Amino acid sequence: MVVSERHYRAFLDSRAGEGLRRSLLAVAAREARTILSGDRSYINFSSNDYLGLRFNETLIDRAAAWAEAWGVGSGASRLVTGNLDPFAPIEAKLARLKAKPASLVMASGFQTNAAALQAILDKAVLGAEPLVFADRLNHASMHFGCQAAGARQIRYRHCDAAHLGELLGRYRGDDRPKFILTESVFSMDGDVAPLGDIARLARAHEACLIVDDAHATGILGEGGSGLSSEADIAIGTFSKALGGFGGFVASSETVRDYLINRCAGVIYSTALPPPVLGAIDAALDIVPGMNAERAYVAGLAERFRAGARAAGWDTGLSTTQIVPIVLGTPEAAIAMSGRLRQAGLWASSIRPPTVPPGTARLRLAFTAAHQEADIDRLLEILAAKDASPRARAV
Ligand SMILES: Cc1ncc(COP(=O)(O)O)c(C=O)c1O
């Protein structure tokens, strides 16, 4: 065994000892509501396919047609020969949806945050190390981008605009470029940042506001536009409510041009493949007209929250289609996930370091593919005598 392998093995063993070791499980899906594992079908409460578009015929047909027409790969990065004709109309549609002057599509949402933030926070270009104010619970990909840029983050308390204001105040008069980074809907909590207050602070302190709109685009906001209208730069993904794959930045033309010239994720990575672009294009056509589905999903989430809270579960500050049940220890989260699985319901446990220590949870996500009876079944299992928080407290 090479020396490094011993260290990797020790890491894995220590993770296992804390109940935090992860592993991959093969599953299958034939439609958006359920997931197949082994020889059993489960109702899937752990999918980000909020509008059920993964299996939508319009998306599938266009993906297939574009594979036929353009091939299954794009052959090169966009700056070489991968910038196929479909990119320009897609980016125009996306800019319209996000109400921004321009947009730029690249690989996954993770890559977009990692690579675009590295470029946006580049101190060599900005002339000084930027002051980056960031919500404490921002997604790992945002931290990754800050780290890649060598930018120290000044963390404010989760969704706490007053704390952000206090921290900004400490740097009043400091003429280094300022940035505020936040998610709109937080991926593990389903709560929403106080974006109006944050945007006001951004303007007052001449800070650039960057909002990761991954879990709002398509499912929240006017016509599914998300919640980033007040952001200077919106980042997002096509892999959640838009059903497919890929990441994007919606911004000014200048920021778009800058990223084409400075963002490693654009310059050194092969352009998205045509079938993926076909699915994105079709999703952008139909998502603005899906108000009924958005209202339906909101109703399901509300039905679940009301039932779960009445039964004594801690659903945090969720107000969206994402609802956590905070259980505390990894063991408790794993046990509850297992109990639901026995009943034919799939809700993955989420453990540190994805969430802060002591807040291991189930993260439930409701989608247009679910039925009201699915929610009721979930509540029924959670209310079972030996499962409910009241029973456990006795
Ligand atoms: C807030 C946030 N940003 C970015 C990402 C990454 O997006 P993608 O899955 O497209 O890489 C995720 C998904 O996990 C997310 O929750």
Distance in Å, CA 109 to ligand 1 centroid? 5
**387 pLDDT above the threshold of 80:** no
**Could you tell me the pLDDT band of residue 1, with boundaries at 50, 70 and 90?**
confident
Which residue has tokens 């409910």? Answer: 388
Question: Any bridge partners for residue 37, and if so which?
Answer: 40
Amino acid letter for position 239:
S
44, 187, 225, 228: which is the annotated catalytic residue?
A: 187
**347 pLDDT above the threshold of 80:** yes
- Mean pLDDT on 59-69: 98
pLDDT in tens, 32-51: 999 999 999 999 999 999 99
49, 191, 212, 293: which is the annotated catalytic residue?
A: 212
Active site (annotated) includes residue 48: yes
Distance in Å, CA 383 to ligand 1 centroid? 32
Active site (annotated) includes residue 215: yes
pLDDT in tens, 245-267: 999 999 999 999 999 999 999 99
Structure tokens at 271: 């352009």
Tell me what the pLDDT averaged over the chain comes to: 96
- Mean pLDDT on 76-80: 98
Give the per-residue pLDDT at 384: 80
Give the per-residue pLDDT at 391: 54
Which stretches of the chain are DSSP H helices?
Answer: 3-17, 57-70, 87-98, 109-120, 123-126, 140-149, 161-170, 195-204, 253-262, 264-267, 274-286, 291-310, 330-342, 372-383, 389-393
Active site (annotated) includes residue 93: no
Give the per-residue pLDDT at 386: 67
Task: Give the separation between CA 153 and CA 381, rounded to whole angstroms.
Answer: 42
Active site (annotated) includes residue 187: yes
Of 44-53, 264-273, 357-366, 385-394, the least confident = 385-394
183, 213, 232, 293: which is the annotated catalytic residue?
A: 183
Task: Give the separation between CA 40 and CA 26, rounded to whole angstroms.
Answer: 12
Structure tokens at 60: 């599938």
pLDDT in tens, 224-244: 999 999 999 999 999 999 999
Structure tokens at 133: 């104010």
**Any atom of ligand 1 within 6 Å of the Cβ of 49:** no
Distance in Å, CA 237 to ligand 1 centroid? 7
Give the per-residue pLDDT at 394: 44
Task: Give the separation between CA 84 and CA 74, rounded to whole angstroms.
Answer: 7
Q: Which atom of ligand 1 is nearest to the CA of 185?
A: 1
Amino acid letter for position 214:
A
**182 pLDDT above the threshold of 60:** yes
Task: Give the separation between CA 369 and CA 32, rounded to whole angstroms.
Answer: 6
Task: Give the separation between CA 327 and CA 319, rounded to whole angstroms.
Answer: 19
